[in-house]
Structure 1
């Protein structure tokens, strides 16, 4: 899988402030994935991203889109 482009970010929300010295972690979940109708060698993946502070509280959320090159699928006999 190779990244080709990032068409954009939707719904960027800053939920809580981040302070100097905070440790942050990120949780990413694939929300949608589909093959391009016009270029079947490419797919568009939408990923939900949540950034958490050291207390496990959400500080930022967003939805990011990525245009990816698809791998060739080889069918196996039988």
Structure 2
């Protein structure tokens, strides 16, 4: 995947993540490297939330089904979306 397309998907994914978690304005973006597979790098997007685990997982599942699964073939293992509880 070209970096330009990855950036487009990252921005689009973040917009949809904000729709799922409108009360959270804090995102963390990190370039991660798998220590067992050093050639595997991916972008990890975490959204800081203070919801119950059940509510947060429900919203993350909705995001996964409404956006992420539709783009799974393109995203592959290059983007990861996750939650960070505060």
TM-score (norm 2): 0.23
Structure number having the greater strand percentage: 1
Which of the pair has the greater relative contact order for Cα pairs under 8 Å at 6+ separation? 1
Structure possessing the higher radius of gyration over alpha carbons: 1
TM-score (norm 1): 0.24
